[in-house]
Structure 1
Amino acid sequence: MKIYCVNWQAADEAELERKHYPDIELILARSTNDTAATLDAETAKTVDAVINYSPAHNVPLPPTAFPNARIAVRSGVGFDNIDTVGWGARNIPACNVPDYGTTEVADHAIALMLALTRGSYTYPNTLVAGGAENWHFNQAPLIRRHKNATFGIVGLGRIGLAAARRAAAFDMKVVFYDPHLLSGVDLSTGYERVHSLNELMSRADVVSVHAPLSNETRGLLGAEAFAAAKPGLIVVNTARGPIIDVSALEAAMQKGTVVGAGLDVLPNEPGDLEHPLIKAWRAGEDWIKNRLIVTPHAAFYSPASMVDLRLKSIEVVHAYLAEGRLTNCVNREYLKR
């Protein structure tokens, strides 16, 4: 069994994978944050499977480059950079790894909320900048009580559900919008379901995004959604950057409808530092000071989550090729029955 590990970014030579799967031949094609890996055309023709490890390069690997591959895997939750249609046209399953980093992302979403609403981001910054003259509780502009506030979730999958549980532990009321979720989930969890994004926006004090990126969700939180928002809204995104129209978010923050945002993801990564919203934040302009937090697509990360991701990526391939067991397939609708 031979796997082409494309856009490999780990510093090591896959010792972890080789230890757990000694029967698999792993071919590593490295990438950096700036440059995608270069495929060796002849090698690509010989592999049984391909795994794309890069979160940074959103150009899907060409299925035609791997004529003998029987499965393709995206090493991560999001599968917007895997050609589901192209692989499906060849009747080859394309899969992801959805069951790693769930706790880390959910924790990060709540941490972004708390950093804004409890001042854990603002207070240290103001003390560093102003010293004793800023030694006062009024330095953080978005402090609020969480009990009885409404936590709105866009997408109640694994991570959205984990975030909901954490928000409920703060005695927040949880409301969610997920048009693809089967009916009855709200009855079993105790969370309230709404059937339009605008209703969620109009009721929530905090909105946390946990949906996958698709044609349906691209720009989902845009001008219309922000126009429907409850004044004083805080927005958190640990999912995919393009789900939020950053220009519409900027307008909503300038207007004051959205008072704060925590963004772990941006439409283009590394982030477009010249976008007016990001530029204003980096310059410390008064209107946005202490109201925006940006982290570098790091919500998924912990040493433990990376071990899970690496082993589960190989496990998906091994289960299918060695056992005939298909897991985490994201292009079933394109496969011949």
Structure 2
Amino acid sequence: MRILVPDTQFEGEPLAEREALGDSVTFDLQYARTAEEIGDNVWAAADAVLLWHVMDITPEVAKKLTNCRIISRIGIGYDRIDTEACAAEGIQVSNVPAYDMSDVATTAVTLALNLLRGVVTYNDRVRADIVGGWSWDGPPILRRVRGQKFGVVGCGRIGTMAALRARAFGMEVGYFDPYLPVGHDITMEMQRFGSLEELLGWADVVTLHTPLNDETWNLIGMPQVAAMKPGLILINAARGGLIDIDALEVGLRSGQIGACGIDAFTQEPPDPNHPLLAAFNAREDWLDGRMIVIPHATWYSPETFNDIRREAAENIRGLFEDGVRRNVVNTGDFRDV
């Protein structure tokens, strides 16, 4: 079996993958960012693809995968894969929906706590001037954590974990998720909102935990910013396309958004010339202490890194060795093994 990893995110041997698939498999490790960097013969030779989060699988790429049975996404989100085009070519698409997601939930709440308690601002000011910066005053949105209203958009596995962590810190928790059954809020003993705008008008902190699709693209745009409680803290630990970055800038400049913690952008790395990111990099006074950016890393820990690699490889093993189609996210008449 020949497995292509087109956008490899590690150096060295594929140890976690071999743990799942054995020594007889050949791995073709590429370090590309676009499909055009990889030859058509390489795509055509692949029996399976292990995909990270950098490469787009377009209809044109799917047509090149003439021998491929499965694309296994190393992670949850699969918005970079045209799943219908893959199905049309007989290619199964799978993901890893249930790795240890506690890192994502913990980091989302940590971003909120850092902003609420001014940790990054204190650190930066003391580091810049350990004497002059030795003052309790300064963080622009410092607040008591207990009693803050914590809103979750998308109360699935990760959203629920974030909600429980926030409640443990004494925050009041509410959520918006139209796809959960009636009575879910009673089970969770949390307040449920009928619309995103209602939640945004109630919450002091909002964290996003939804997939990216046609329904959620630019979920936070100008109308949603206008609906927010003034000074709301916005956290995105999901997909970059959930937030319109222009609306985010407008909200931050006006103060309607008090602060934000952002893990993902539509383009990664993001464009440093965008006015918001240029202001962030320049540490402009109006934004200082109000924005934290991390490099699509809420999911990462060494343990998780190995887990998702192994579990994505196990999707391939299940198909080729056992004839079991695991964690399939598209439907179609798939190629036989």
Query: What are the within-5 Å matches in structure 2 for residues 92-171 of structure 1?
Result: 92-171=91-170
Report the residue type matching 1:78 in the other structure.
G
Change (3 A) 1:38 1:144: same
1:251 aligns with 2:259: no
Question: What's 2:303 paired with?
Answer: 304
Question: What's 1:267 paired with?
Answer: 266
Change (3 A) 1:37 1:143: same
1:8–1:28 contact (8 Å) kept in structure 2: no
1:162-217 CA distance string (max 9 Å, x none): 11111111121211112233333222222222121101100111010111111111
| TM-aligned CA deviation for residue 101 of structure 1 | 4.8
| TM-aligned CA deviation for residue 24 of structure 1 | 5.0
TM-score by length of 2: 0.92
Matching residue within 54, 57, 75 for 1:56: 54
Question: What's 2:27 paired with?
Answer: 27
Report the residue type matching 2:285 in the other structure.
D
Alignment partner of 1:7: what SS?
coil
**Cα distance in 1, alignment partners of residues 88 and 183 from structure 2:** 34
1:79 aligns with 2:78: yes
Question: What's 2:66 paired with?
Answer: 67
Query: What are the within-5 Å matches in structure 2 for residues 205-216 of structure 1?
Result: 205-216=204-215
Change (3 A) 1:264 1:283: same
Structure 2: which 5+ runs fail to align? Answer: none
Change (3 A) 1:286 1:45: closer
**Cα distance in 2, alignment partners of residues 29 and 41 from structure 1:** 15
**Cα distance in 2, alignment partners of residues 303 and 134 from structure 1:** 35
TM-score by length of 1: 0.92
2:35–2:56 contact (8 Å) kept in structure 1: no
Change (3 A) 1:218 1:86: same
**Cα distance in 1, alignment partners of residues 92 and 277 from structure 2:** 39
Structure 1: which 5+ runs fail to align? Answer: none
Report the residue type matching 2:25 in the other structure.
E
Change (3 A) 1:222 1:282: same
Alignment partner of 1:305: what SS?
helix
| TM-aligned CA deviation for residue 218 of structure 1 | 1.0
| TM-aligned CA deviation for residue 48 of structure 1 | 2.9
1:106–1:162 contact (8 Å) kept in structure 2: yes
**Cα distance in 2, alignment partners of residues 191 and 19 from structure 1:** 41
Question: What's 1:15 paired with?
Answer: 15
Report the residue type matching 1:2 in the other structure.
R
**Cα distance in 1, alignment partners of residues 43 and 287 from structure 2:** 48
Using the aligned pairs only, state the percent identity. 38
| TM-aligned CA deviation for residue 59 of structure 1 | 5.0
1:109-145 CA distance string (max 9 Å, x none): 1111111111111101011223312211112121112
Report the residue type matching 1:82 in the other structure.
I
Report the residue type matching 2:231 in the other structure.
G
**Cα distance in 1, alignment partners of residues 276 and 268 from structure 2:** 15
**Cα distance in 2, alignment partners of residues 58 and 158 from structure 1:** 26
**Cα distance in 2, alignment partners of residues 37 and 11 from structure 1:** 22
1:29–1:38 contact (8 Å) kept in structure 2: no
1:282 aligns with 2:274: no
1:7–1:36 contact (8 Å) kept in structure 2: no
Question: What's 1:237 paired with?
Answer: 236
Change (3 A) 1:134 1:66: same
**Cα distance in 2, alignment partners of residues 299 and 37 from structure 1:** 29
The answer to which of 117-126 and 317-326 deviates more is 317-326
| TM-aligned CA deviation for residue 36 of structure 1 | 5.4
How much is the aligned-residue C-alpha RMSD, in angstroms?
A: 2.0
**Cα distance in 2, alignment partners of residues 275 and 42 from structure 1:** 38
Q: How many residues align?
A: 333
**Cα distance in 1, alignment partners of residues 16 and 248 from structure 2:** 42
2:20–2:317 contact (8 Å) kept in structure 1: no
**Cα distance in 2, alignment partners of residues 43 and 267 from structure 1:** 28
2:19–2:310 contact (8 Å) kept in structure 1: no
Alignment partner of 2:127: what SS?
helix
